[in-house]
Structure 1
């Protein structure tokens, strides 16, 4: 990814990440969820202290190019939960998610985590599945009068191993 920078989230990123999240849901997930489901999932870009807190308290990494945010992922290093994994619709399929994920998995391994988990949308399920994740449970999340199918997924990282040369 030429010119792609991965960096920690700053509290000042919250409004731009909210807009990116909203567009990723409304446009990027269009092939997997109908308009009513997407509107229930993200009726408006998130805002306020709760949104900022979720970004800042987790290990949130953002991808940017030319000072424009293209995606973000969050990891709760205490539990191994990946909460957010979103890419701007115009950057999908360009390696942004792969790069963000590689950074977070590396951090998880460095922290000694042996398992990662997430609640994956239908779109994210394919992404995680290609990286060795497995579906633990299929479910439908009720949001604003709609039911959105998703899956609880996990990946065992195993203990960190060092091999002698």
Structure 2
């Protein structure tokens, strides 16, 4: 596995990983209506978001299989292709990202699906949140840990 900074031409690959992870992995914890609302990508919005973020990708055999993004000390996105789940990719991405950060408190709004992963990585629950996206309400968890 190789972890590196992303390249702008990889946006379609990152979008595909995100959509598959939401529709296939997160669907065990969220309703079909929630998945439909969450599982959308606006290319222009994502390009803008990623341009202002630290973005790392994980490659296996030259194929991008996961990614993580952060703005400052906030982890915004962490997704791995369902084909590569439970192979240590998310952990490797998180460790690489944390190694780039200055000391301080790192936060994430973890999905129900991602909460156990972040707990294993030393994040603690700050509070449960009820958020809205595209007309649907979602539970997620604000979590934090020191770097």
| 1:16-40 Cα deviation digits (max 9, x unpaired) | 1111111111111122112111111
Instruction: Find out whether 1:146 has 2:136 as its counterpart.
Output: yes
- Aligned match of 1:126 in 105, 116, 129? 116
- Aligned match of 1:71 in 59, 66, 71? 66
Instruction: Find out whether 1:47 has 2:37 as its counterpart.
Output: no
| 1:121-146 Cα deviation digits (max 9, x unpaired) | 01111111111111111111112222
2:95 corresponding residue in structure 1: 102
CA–CA separation in structure 1 for the residues paired with 2:52 and 2:41: 19
Provide the alpha-carbon RMSD of the alignment: 1.2
Q: Which has the higher strand share?
A: 2
Give the TM-score normalised by structure 1: 0.84
CA–CA separation in structure 2 for the residues paired with 1:141 and 1:67: 36
In structure 1, the gaps of 5 or more residues are 158-165
CA–CA separation in structure 2 for the residues paired with 1:12 and 1:94: 25
CA–CA separation in structure 2 for the residues paired with 1:113 and 1:84: 20
On the 8 A contact 1:19/1:45 being kept in 2, the answer is no
On the 8 A contact 1:29/1:123 being kept in 2, the answer is yes
Shift of residue 15, structure 1, vs aligned partner: 1.4
Runs of 4+ in 1 over 2 A off after TM superposition: none
CA–CA separation in structure 1 for the residues paired with 2:30 and 2:20: 14
Q: Kindly tell me: are residues 45 and 19 of structure 1, through their superposed partners in 2, closer, same or farther at Cα, counting changes over 3 Å?
A: farther
Give the number of equivalent residue pairs: 147
Structure of greater Rg:
1
